[in-house]
Structure 1
Amino acid sequence: MTVPSPYADRLSRLPVVRREVEVRGGKTAFWEYGPADAETTVIAVHGFRGDHHGLEPVLAFLPEVRVLAPDLPGFGESEPVPGRTYDLDEYVAWLSEFAAEAAPGAVILGHSFGSIVTSAAVARGLETPRLILINPIGAPALEGPKGIMTKLAVLYYALGARLPERVGTALLRNRLIVRVMSITMAKTTDPELRRFIHDQHDTYFSRFSDRDVLRDAFVASVSHDVSEVADAIDVPTLLIAAQRDDITPIEVERVLATRFSDASLVEIAHVGHLIHYETPAEAAGAIRRFLRIPVERHP
């Protein structure tokens, strides 16, 4: 990372400890933010191609909360297990085991692809008092107004997987393509913030272990969405959605919110799929208010 974070001062005041735990036969690296004795612990799952760094701006505005932020298997500093297919079933099993090892009963949070993994895990029995979804993927990626762009992405990742390994991996890590992704998603007109966002993607978007892991994650990300499991989730759920999100339009997020038995939707204006970078204070404020709402307990 070469561009200073606008949130560096706040982050510098947070206690941060790097930890590791073995999950499903591989090492999962995770970072513990905030006070160890905090009243609330949150497990935060990042999005596709990123790692735990992506959610740091939001965590900077939640200093009173203990947050465990793992790198998904095969991304950042977490190891994949050789020969394993990282489809949604595997990610759900990984998250369920990680939560049992690191923080049973924690609040679960997922951003983007992380929203697919976390919602599926909770729907399948991962115990949590609350679920938080930032930029949730609310509809099939291959449908809707951006379906053509998604189909192009499918071709890109398929080509990266089929070319000779060195060439394919170089294509998948191509800085120009990463920059195009970043420019497409960023909505802010603040030049300093845009430089920071692009630098974050340049630094962390290619930290996948190998192209097989990246291909599996991409296939999982476009083959599933939160709407598949919303009906099966019975814990209080917060959806934080962007009014200019190119991946899931806000109209779709409004419909998605009605699919849960107990959900609230917070809409953030003038931002797209990068709430965690562009409007982290607003996201953190919504999370803080949500965490303060008493959870109704049934005998």
Structure 2
Amino acid sequence: MPVPHPTAPVGLLRPVRREVQASGGTTAYWEYGPVDAEHTLVAVHGFRGEHHGLEPVVAMLPEVRVISPDLPGFGETAPLPGRTHDLAAYAEWLSDFVAAVAPGAVILGHSFGSIVSAAAVAQGLATPRLIVVNPIGAPALQGPRGVMTRLAIFYYWAGARLPERVGTAVLRNALVVRVMSITMAKTSDRQLRRFIHDQHDTYFARFADRDVLRDAFVTSVSHDITEYAADIAVPTLLIAAVRDDITPIEAERHLVTLFTDAELVEIPDVGHLIHYETPAPAAEAIRRFLGPSARDTR
């Protein structure tokens, strides 16, 4: 039985699962909220995750229609046929997906999804606004845990080089997933930590194969939003964590200055898991950014 979130009503969500063709493959996605909502968000999850990861934030925005796909190669979405899963492939996929399902939607990306979203918008994906949560605002090797990033690079390299059965088992190892989870969580709330660990235990190993995982990881540590910020003209909201181990808050404060029209919301006492640990402040920042017509109707 899933561990409940202590504050976000995730258990009350009743999304509708759908599928659509995008970039030559079949994308699984979930639709939340009223179909006639004034605002529609397309929510792009982070590395090794899937659509479930953003549900605590979605649960705090019941008045907003949210469309949340599993990225190609993760969750219930198969890899893109015949493609290397690099940033070009993911950005093209996102543009195709939005065009097919929700043209004109606001785009939201978390962590790795923030890079994909920023790249797609910079390259022409039409959206009225862009929201990035825990944005990757600096090269990963320059972050507070650069040594840990180097260890992660070795881990994914080894998983790709070992015999396939052994390498896949290493990449799906429950102990490694738990170490990742413990490292990222900042909260001292025991129930919330249980929820976070349960989420990672349940969903972090749901990648299609080690090749997709390697490609996505290399992409995640080879790019950051600073490459695309100057080419993004739409209003942009950055929701950043003061204790983020991947992008230090100083880098986020610099990143916001690179956009034509952007604002930064800083959330204290949280790290790279804003979507799990502080969904209410994140949702409120999103609601305010969408405008006065977005009101909490709970």
For the 8 Å contact 2:24–2:81, the answer to whether it is kept is no
Partner of 1:207: 206
Aligned to 2:258, the other structure's residue is in SS state coil
- Match runs of 1:25-44 below 5 Å: 25-44=24-43
Partner of 1:17: 16
Q: Which amino acid aligns with 1:232?
A: D
Partner of 2:296: none
Distance in 2 (alpha carbons) for counterparts of 1:250 and 1:26: 37
Distance in 1 (alpha carbons) for counterparts of 2:61 and 2:123: 28
Distance in 2 (alpha carbons) for counterparts of 1:259 and 1:161: 36
Partner of 1:277: 276
Residues 13/84 of structure 1: CA separation in 2 closer, same or farther (3 Å cut): same
The TM-score, its normalising length taken from structure 1, stands at 0.95
Q: CA deviation at 1:151?
A: 1.1
Distance in 2 (alpha carbons) for counterparts of 1:293 and 1:112: 27
Partner of 1:126: 125
Aligned to 2:285, the other structure's residue is in SS state helix
**Aligned residue pairs, count:** 293
Q: CA deviation at 1:152?
A: 1.0
Query: What per-residue deviation string (whole Å, max 9, x for no partner) do you get for residues 222-260 of structure 1?
Result: 000001110110000000000000000111100101110
**Alignment of 1:172 onto 2:171:** yes
Q: CA deviation at 1:42?
A: 0.5
Q: CA deviation at 1:83?
A: 3.2
Q: CA deviation at 1:23?
A: 1.0
Q: Which amino acid aligns with 1:133?
A: V
Q: Which amino acid aligns with 2:119?
A: A
Aligned to 2:141, the other structure's residue is in SS state coil
- Match runs of 1:108-187 below 5 Å: 108-187=107-186
Aligned to 1:157, the other structure's residue is in SS state helix
For the 8 Å contact 1:246–1:272, the answer to whether it is kept is yes
For the 8 Å contact 2:4–2:10, the answer to whether it is kept is no
The unaligned stretches of length 5 or more in structure 2 are 294-298
For the 8 Å contact 1:7–1:60, the answer to whether it is kept is no
Aligned to 2:63, the other structure's residue is in SS state coil
For the 8 Å contact 1:15–1:35, the answer to whether it is kept is no
Distance in 2 (alpha carbons) for counterparts of 1:33 and 1:144: 34
Root-mean-square deviation (CA, aligned residues, Å) is 1.3
Q: CA deviation at 1:293?
A: 6.1
Q: Which amino acid aligns with 2:241?
A: A
Distance in 2 (alpha carbons) for counterparts of 1:277 and 1:98: 25
Partner of 1:57: 56
Q: CA deviation at 1:3?
A: 1.9
Q: Which amino acid aligns with 2:268?
A: A
Q: Which amino acid aligns with 1:165?
A: E
Distance in 1 (alpha carbons) for counterparts of 2:109 and 2:87: 14
For the 8 Å contact 2:4–2:11, the answer to whether it is kept is no
The unaligned stretches of length 5 or more in structure 1 are 295-299
- Match runs of 1:55-94 below 5 Å: 55-94=54-93
Query: What per-residue deviation string (whole Å, max 9, x for no partner) do you get for residues 144-166 of structure 1?
Result: 43222111111100100010000
The TM-score, its normalising length taken from structure 2, stands at 0.96
Partner of 2:224: 225
**Alignment of 1:99 onto 2:98:** yes
Distance in 2 (alpha carbons) for counterparts of 1:7 and 1:72: 27
For the 8 Å contact 1:123–1:233, the answer to whether it is kept is yes
Q: Which amino acid aligns with 2:291?
A: R
Residues 65/2 of structure 1: CA separation in 2 closer, same or farther (3 Å cut): closer
For the 8 Å contact 1:239–1:265, the answer to whether it is kept is yes
